Amino acid sequence: MSIRLGDTAPNFQAETSIGNIDFYDFLGDSWGVLFSHPADYTPVCTTELGRTAALKGEFEKRNVKVLALSVDSATSHQGWISDINETQNTSVEFPIIADPEKTVANLYDMIHPNASETLTVRSLFVISPDKKVKLMITYPASTGRNFNEVLRVIDSLQLTANYSVATPADWNDGDDVIVVNSIKTEDIPAKFPKGHQVIKPYLRTTPQPNK
């Protein structure tokens, strides 16, 4: 199946490196990051899983639960996790889904035949607490993910979910934001008392409202 932004993220049950899980139950009321890897013992993915583990505190303070997927078995995952912990000087505690039948990979359209007939592409999904897909990023096998960008996008998604703002190019948490065009300029002071700037009638900025 094909998944698009705004779709409900499909639920699934799967064996993982920490035992059997139901995806929805695992997420609960948290945000989620689900990201796939072509196979265990791959070099780029080893660095990615290590980086994710090192960022545990950053995900936790954003109320984000992380889980990875690889088409290999849970037993294989355990050996790979030992290598990750050793080489990346960290401790992988989040689950890695075992998907040898490619059930979850197909559910989330992670198999791209023109890239590989058998291996998952390296896709990443950010899922909101109401189980909607809010972000999809797909990387080629040769390019490691930028987890600073993943955290930046989560900051933007969580901010824009709660306030009538958008985030401009290269925005980082704490920077000024854009007031959405559905708010009239004369109504901005009541909604955003920290002040605002009218650059163009369609481009109005204000300090980040939750800072």
Token pair of 86 as six digits: 């050793």
Catalytically active residues, by annotation: 45
Residue 145 CA to residue 133 CA, distance in Å, equals: 19
Residue 44 CA to residue 48 CA, distance in Å, equals: 6
Phi, psi torsion values for 55, nearest 5 degrees: -95, 15
Residue 76 CA to residue 40 CA, distance in Å, equals: 7
Q: Is residue 154 left, alpha or beta, with left meaning phi > 0 and alpha meaning psi from -120 to 50? A: alpha
Strand 197-200 and strand 122-127: the pairing is unpaired
Strand 13-16 and strand 165-166: the pairing is unpaired
